[in-house]
Amino acid sequence: IGKGKRDEAVKAAVVRNGAVYLAAIGGAGALMAGSVKSCEIIAWPDLGCEAVRRLEVVDMPLTVLLDAHGGDL
């Protein structure tokens, strides 16, 4: 979950891995936090808040910016 544009390498990785890149509305952190049901650090815990996490969310308002087929909003 992020914001802003991503370069061609990121776009290629999203398609290659059958993933999606989701965007959140800036300034809505408190609203978003209420949608998180669980959070687990799965990689690079030494990075603190930048660590890779697995989130379980319910009713989180997000927009797909990059899809698994290369579609780019």
Instruction: Kindly list the domain boundaries of the chain, sorted by start residue.
Output: 8-66
Integer Cα distance of 26 and 61 in angstroms = 12
User: Is residue 3 very low, low, confident or very high in pLDDT (cuts 50, 70, 90)?
Assistant: low
**Range with lowest mean pLDDT among 15-19, 42-46, 60-64:** 60-64
User: Is residue 28 very low, low, confident or very high in pLDDT (cuts 50, 70, 90)?
Assistant: confident
Whole-structure pTM value: 0.69
